Amino acid sequence: MKKAVLFCSTAALLLWGAFLPPVEGFAAEVSAAEAASQEEALLSRRTTYYNMENVGRAHNVELAAERIDGITLQPKESFTFNGAVGERTAENGYEEAPVIEHGAYVAGLGGGVCQVSSTLFLAALEGGLRVLESHPHSLPVSYLPPSLDAMVSGWSDLKLFNQRAFPVRIEASAEGGELTVSLYGTPDSLIYRAESVLLEETDRAVISESFLLVFGEGGELISRTRVRRDVYMLPLPPEEEPKKP
């Protein structure tokens, strides 16, 4: 493959919003009685893995998962990940662990929290939520394919919007090296799938895109919308690879 000299920093990476099509068949508003009559079902579920031997990072993953667990997004309500998990400080319960900054791993408070935001990001795409804001890391991560991660920091956030006419509830659990994020709500007639596409890989960088595919009830493809196009620096340090159970 042809080599290219590429420069990339966290701040310079491209940001694209994933805007899902409006859900057909629902009114803009519903009454409390109508909402109560709808059965809650699993909309999406995604699991990633983390290394329990990295004690500080494992603690941060578990703490962030605990803080988003049980949050319910009402119809037309927005969600901010930073607002839910809080500032990454020792006073807020976070510990020191490796974090990615400008294409390198450095020690920092809250390392590992981005795995929770990334797992939620993927579950949100496949659960029919609208993504208002997401950012890539400056390096690829080992727990998800490229362009399906969601880096959060003091200046970047993961923001979601419940475009459905009924509430969507987040469940998150992290234990024994396994992080699972599930979304529950009233299903529609659509099926959502996220896709990662590797465009180019050189000795300096990875270029990738992610797409959201929407299928009808009969399995027919309705739309394929690009979510993001990203450039990641290389290499990925082996010590960040999670252990599979």
pLDDT, tens only, 15-57: 333 333 333 322 334 444 444 446 789 999 999 999 999 999 9
The pLDDT of residue 203: 87
Domain ranges of the chain: 10-20+38-235
**Is the predicted pLDDT of residue 163 greater than 60, yes or no?**
yes
11 secondary structure, DSSP code: G
3-state DSSP helix/strand/coil % of the chain, to nearest 5: 20, 35, 45
Mean pLDDT of 84-97: 97
* Angle formed at CA 48 by CA 106 and CA 170, multiple of 5 degrees: 105
Residue 171 has φ and ψ, to the nearest 5°, of -120, 130
Identity of the residue numbered 50: Y
